[in-house]
């Protein structure tokens, strides 16, 4: 088992990573302060892992709230359902919410925990690679508004994150690859050695070799933790985590969040960020090729489909701009392993990158 601590003073917490951790009662016993637990999961995950988790929690008074699977249930209404259950079950401030599932379950459960009686404990048991390497660290919780993703939320740190790598065995290949996009991102934004390690180990990763996967997760969580510890409430440095995301969000928005998974859009966004960095003279042709190649080996798309409209994509980025107080910010790379924030890049360069991406010529 690998372990790291996210060091946030009084809000510090451990992340445990390893095979079959769902069957380790002592990990849960340490993380859960009271007797009562409400497990939040969905109807796709429950048949797979709920029974074994309940067996592990035999010494607790565990109740279960099963929601339908899907991003469309990441809503205030679902949070309300959780609050209804907590109140009906007489859960007091000593209760613990336990999120068993992917990012939707994790974000929703964290938000429900943040607001129940002004804040109760929660423990993350992420079951997708994306949730394991992304939402495990950072304390961002929230739900969607009909007009915007994650518009309603809170910063609320979990008491512990327990990552059972066995849960990845049931993950669809496309979902697994989507998680790898974020893993590769950590190499690109701050750690050239890790990027090299990923290049050397992509076959074992794609074969889901448990030790290699655990090491990739641990490294990703550690990379994110370093950034979050320096900037808990997202005032500055944390913006670097958005590498690939300004482009990625625009792609998701133009395709109404339907055609691509978030990680897939991020993968395309990373290639576009690399291309823009090259046009700015910050990255060379060979590096752009390495980035594109590694994403492809991870089973990820590197370009949007040719039917995408470049003006629509640019407009979507400008909408992002409006919400950021008039400034468009893109994270670019100065060599592999070093990211920086660029404010208001030349629109001409952006257009070139977008056109090249759509043409598949990056």
Beta carbon of residue 111, minimum distance to its own copies (angstroms, whole number)? 8
- From 150, 50, 29, select the one nearest 100 (Cα to Cα): 50
Residues contacting residue 106 through CB under 8 Å, at least 6 positions apart:
99, 124, 126, 131, 135, 141
Question: Is the distance from CB of 216 to CB of 205 less than 8 angstroms?
Answer: yes
- From 334, 104, 337, select the one nearest 219 (Cα to Cα): 337
From residue 204 to residue 233, what is the string marking binding to its own copies with x (rule CB under 8 A)?
-----------------------------x
CA-to-CA dists, residue 87 to 42, 59, 75, 277, 320, angstroms: 20, 22, 19, 52, 38
Look up residue 110 and give its two tokens. Answer: 């964290």
Check 140, 156, 185, 292 and give the catalytic one.
Answer: 140
Q: Which of 47, 68, 89, 94 binds its own copies (CB under 8 A)?
A: 94
Check 224, 279, 292, 303 and give the catalytic one.
Answer: 224
Q: Does 89 bind its own copies (CB under 8 A)?
A: no
Total number of residues binding its own copies (CB under 8 A)?
34
- From 78, 233, 80, 40, select the one nearest 154 (Cα to Cα): 233
Question: Is the distance from CB of 213 to CB of 362 less than 8 angstroms?
Answer: no
Judge whether 203 counts as a catalytic residue.
no
Check 74, 159, 262, 279 and give the catalytic one.
Answer: 262
Nearer to its own copies, 42 or 141 (CB): 141
Judge whether 26 counts as a catalytic residue.
no
Nearer to its own copies, 306 or 326 (CB): 326
Look up residue 243 and give its two tokens. Answer: 């590498």
Residue 172 is classified by DSSP as: -
Beta carbon of residue 93, minimum distance to its own copies (angstroms, whole number)? 8
φ, ψ of residue 140 in degrees (nearest 5)? -80, 125
Nearer to its own copies, 68 or 94 (CB): 94
Residue 134 is classified by DSSP as: I
Nearer to its own copies, 322 or 334 (CB): 322
Beta carbon of residue 260, minimum distance to its own copies (angstroms, whole number)? 24
Judge whether 42 counts as a catalytic residue.
no
Beta carbon of residue 148, minimum distance to its own copies (angstroms, whole number)? 6
Check 60, 74, 185, 249 and give the catalytic one.
Answer: 249
Nearer to its own copies, 155 or 257 (CB): 155
Beta carbon of residue 85, minimum distance to its own copies (angstroms, whole number)? 11
Q: Does 126 bind its own copies (CB under 8 A)?
A: no
Distance CA 241, CA 181 (A): 12
Question: Is the distance from CB of 303 to CB of 360 less than 8 angstroms?
Answer: yes
From residue 135 to residue 174, what is the string marking binding to its own copies with x (rule CB under 8 A)?
-----xxx--x-xx--xxxxx-------------------
Question: In the range 324-343, which residues lie near its own copies by CB under 8 A?
Answer: 324-325
Judge whether 256 counts as a catalytic residue.
no
Q: Which of 9, 26, 58, 118 binds its own copies (CB under 8 A)?
A: 118
Q: How large is the angle between the packed helices 262-279 and 347-359, nearest 10 degrees? A: 120
Q: Does 29 bind its own copies (CB under 8 A)?
A: no
Beta carbon of residue 116, minimum distance to its own copies (angstroms, whole number)? 7
Q: Which of 13, 28, 49, 116 binds its own copies (CB under 8 A)?
A: 116
Q: Does 237 bind its own copies (CB under 8 A)?
A: no
Residues contacting residue 350 through CB under 8 Å, at least 6 positions apart:
276, 314, 317, 330
Most distant pair of Cα atoms in the chain: their distance: 62
φ, ψ of residue 260 in degrees (nearest 5)? -120, 150
Instruction: Report CA torsion sign: 4, 7, 9, 13.
Output: negative
Interface positions with its own copies (CB under 8 A): 76, 80, 83-84, 87-88, 90, 92-94, 111, 114-119, 140-142, 145, 147-148, 151-155, 233-234, 322-325
Q: Which residues are catalytic?
A: 118, 140, 182, 224, 234, 238, 242, 245, 249, 262
């Amino acid at each position: 088992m690998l372990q790291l601590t996210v060091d946030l003073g009084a809000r510090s917490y451990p992340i445990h990573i390893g095979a079959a951790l769902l069957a380790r009662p002592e990990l849960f016993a340490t993380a859960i302060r009271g007797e009562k637990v409400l497990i939040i999961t969905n109807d796709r995950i429950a048949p797979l892992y709920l029974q074994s988790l309940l067996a592990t929690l035999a010494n607790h008074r565990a109740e279960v709230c099963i929601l339908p699977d899907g991003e469309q249930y990441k809503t205030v209404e679902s949070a309300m359902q959780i609050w209804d259950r907590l109140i009906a079950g007489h859960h007091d401030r000593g209760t613990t919410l336990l999120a068993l599932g992917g990012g939707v379950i994790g974000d929703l459960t964290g938000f429900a925990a943040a607001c129940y009686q002004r804040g109760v404990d929660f423990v993350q048991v992420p079951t997708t690679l994306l949730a394991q390497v992304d939402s495990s660290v950072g304390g961002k919780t929230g739900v969607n508004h009909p007009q915007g993703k994650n518009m309603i939320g809170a910063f609320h740190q979990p008491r512990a994150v327990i990552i059972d790598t066995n849960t990845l065995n049931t993950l669809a290949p496309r979902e697994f690859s989507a998680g790898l996009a974020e893993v590769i991102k950590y190499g690109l934004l701050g750690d050239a050695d890790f990027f090299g390690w990923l290049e050397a180990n992509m076959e074992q990763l794609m074969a889901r070799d448990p030790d290699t996967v655990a090491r990739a997760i641990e490294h990703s969580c550690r990379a994110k933790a370093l950034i979050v510890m320096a900037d808990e409430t997202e005032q500055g440095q944390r913006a670097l985590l958005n590498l690939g995301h300004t482009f990625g969000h625009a792609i998701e928005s133009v395709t109404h969040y339907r055609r691509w998974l978030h990680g897939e859009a991020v993968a395309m966004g990373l290639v576009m960020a690399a291309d823009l960095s090259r046009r700015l003279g910050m990255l060379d042709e060979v590096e752009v090729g390495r980035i594109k190649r590694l994403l492809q080996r991870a089973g990820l798309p590197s370009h949007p489909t040719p039917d995408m409209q470049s003006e629509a994509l640019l407009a979507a980025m400008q909408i992002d701009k409006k919400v950021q107080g008039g400034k468009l910010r893109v994270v670019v790379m100065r060599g592999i392993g070093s990211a920086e924030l660029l404010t208001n890049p030349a629109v001409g360069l952006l257009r070139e990158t977008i056109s090249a991406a759509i043409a598949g010529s990056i």
